[in-house]
Each structure stands twice: as structure tokens, then as C-alpha cells.
Structure 1
Amino acid sequence: MATWSSLASGIVRNLTCRSTVQNYGIQKRMMSDRTMNITSSRWQWHKFKDLLHFYVIIGLIPVGAIVFYANVFIGPATLTEIPEGYTPKHWEYYQHPITRWLAKNIFTNPQQEYEKYLHQLYEEDEKMKILKLQKKVHDLMRLRQDHRSQHFLPISGKYTRVSRKDAEAMDETAGFSRSSP
């Protein structure tokens, strides 16, 4: 009996909806003027802003505190007389304390950089001299119709004698003696 009543209520509902559509020509869908705009997610943008602010705070606050401390409590260097027999270090030529610290602990000595550059120039000059000499040797070999003797490495006869001696010893133990008649 319950089944018949539920079927009947569905049929009654359908009949009333059709009458609404027939009467007014509009089907009621519980809509209003408000709409929901579908846009892409802003999560990535908000996450980027959060991380940017986080790392800026982590970086700028300590750096700002260090710069403030260096400027207020240490201050810039002043010129003084150099004692007799004392050679200043390369970082002592800078005025600001942070620049002095960077020159002392992070950057290399300008004299060391200069010597590395001179070494690089020396190596390039040696390469040029070797190439020039090699070209001269090849030109003279071509001119004199000489052979390419500099390309053959001298081999010591020691290893040849040792290998021959080992081969003869193995032949004798195997029973293949090379006795000449």
C-alpha cells in the first residue's frame, strides 16, 4: 500500500509541474539573479606571497640588524699613522666594517688574483711557444723530407727479453723444446 501511495505522489507532482510549465511557460529551478563566477584558484598566488614575505622577513631582519650594529656601534675606519715596519693587510684599506669583513673572509686577496692572472698568461705563452716550435719542426721535416721520428717512442728491450724468456720456460715445461739440430 505504501508503494502505491509513493507512486501516486510522484504522479501528482509531475502533473502539477506540467501545469506550471503549461500555464506560465517557465520551469521553476529555484534560481535567482545571483551567479557564481568560476575562476582559477588563487591558492598558488597566496602561497607565493606567504613564502615571499616569510623569506624577506628571515633575510631582511638579520641583515638589517647587522648593518645597524656595524654602522652604529663599530662605525667607519679612520686614518691613522702606520707604525714602522708594519705592512697593512689587504682588508685594512677599506673604510666600512662590513666591506672589511667581506674582503677578509670571503673575497680573495687582490695580489693573489693578480698572480693567478700572471700564471694564466705564463701558461698561455708557454702553449704558444710549444705550438710555434712544433710548427717549426713540422715545416723543417717537410722541407728536408725527413721522417716522423718524434712520433715514435723508444721502447726498452728489457720487456721483450723477459717475455721471450718466459715463453721459452713455458715451452720447456709443456714439452715443446726448441732445440736446433
Structure 2
Amino acid sequence: MPVWSSLGGSLLRTLVKPSTSQCTKIIVRSMSDHRTMQIQPSRWQYQKFKDLVHFYFLVGAIPVTAIIVYTNVFIGPAKLAEIPEGYVPKHWEYYKHPITRFLARYVFTSHQQEYEKYMHLLYEEDEKMKIRALERKVRDLMEERADYQAYYYRPVSGKYVRQAKRQREAIEESSGVSLD
């Protein structure tokens, strides 16, 4: 009996085959593992920044390098020479290298200008000190004399106001015209 039961199952399967469409239609689901697509932060901003840094560095570095090479190769440093009589050199003519001369002439201020700006600053500070000293002296004198800071005016007597009012009323009565 056990032999028949074991053979029966395999014999039944070989004789009655299921349709091929049922065997091939196996549902495959790959949703539960969460490994279908990796989500990572975008590198676009970093790439864009890197591209712009390289671009602007090369836009600035190539022309500056070309200017420096041209200046050093073809122009070269200045040579010391005698100053003609009656000629006063400009402040940028004291520098040896042409690029330094250019910067001293067009970008930076001369030593004389810096000195004059500093002297003006000292003058302004000195004037402020004098004004503060004068204000302090005025405050001390006001305190000493028991004065106070206020507008000075001469007091007006009410007698003249009343007299002007009476005259206006008299004119209005005699002429019949209102002066308002």
C-alpha cells in the first residue's frame, strides 16, 4: 500500500500535466526589500560651484599671468639714471618694477596725500578738542553764576496789549468795519 501511494502521486503528475501557461506565470514581487533605487543627495550644487571656481580662476589667472610675463620679459625693471636739473619726479617714478609703478600711479595714493589726510584728521580732532573745552568753560561759568541755558527775551507788559485792544474797538465803532 505504501508503494502505491508513493507511485500514485508521481504517476498522476506525469499523466496529467498542468498547462504551461500556469507554470510560467509566476508572480515576482520585489517591493519589500527597499533596494530597488538608492536615493542620495544631489551633487549638482557642488559641481556647479566647482565649475564656476575653475572658470573664474582661469579667466583671471591666464590674463594676469600673461601681463606679468610680458612685463618681465619685454619691459623689465627701471634703470637708475640722473635726474635732469629742474625736474621733480612724480611719486610713482621712485619704484623700480613697472607693475609696482602702475599700481602706485593709478591704484594707491601717494605718501604726500596720506600725510595730508592724516594732518587734516589731526586738525579736525584739534578743533573738536577746542570746541569741547569752550563748551566745558561755558558750562562751568553757567554753574558758577547760577545761570541756565535758555532764550533771553524782554518781558512784555499786559498794559500795552489792553491799550491796543481798546484802540481797535474804538476804530471799529467809529468806522463800522471789523478789523478781524
TM-score range, shorter chain: 0.5 to 0.7
Gaps of at least 5 residues in structure 1 are 1-11, 21-26, 155-167
1:124 paired residue number: 125
Q: Partner of 1:113 in structure 2? A: 114
TM-score normalised by L of structure 1: 0.65
Q: Decide whether aligned partners of structure 1 residues 126 and 30 sit closer, same or farther in structure 2, where only a CA change above 3 A counts.
A: closer
Superimposed CA distance per residue, residues 94-122 of structure 1 (whole angstroms, 9 cap, x where no aligned partner): 11111100110111122111101110110
Give TM-score scaled by structure 2 length: 0.65
Deviation at 1:38, TM superposition (A): 2.3
CA RMSD of aligned residues (A): 3.2
Matches within 5 A, 1:36-115: 36-115=37-116
* AA partner of residue 177 (structure 1): L
User: What is the CA-CA distance between 1:62 and the residue it aligns to?
Assistant: 0.6
Q: How far, CA to CA, are the matches of 1:113 and 1:38 in structure 2?
A: 61
**Which consecutive unaligned segments of at least 5 residues does structure 2 have?**
1-18, 154-167
Aligned residue-pair number:
137
User: Per the alignment, in what secondary structure is the counterpart of residue 86 of structure 1?
Assistant: coil
1:61 partner letter: I
Match of 2:179 in 1: 177
CA distance in 1, matches of 2:75, 2:136: 62
Over 3 Å counting, the alpha-carbon distance change for 1:30 and 1:132 in structure 2 is: closer
Identity of aligned residues (%): 61
- 1:67 aligned partner, one-letter code: I
Letter in structure 1 aligned against 2:179: S
Amino acid at match of 1:29: R
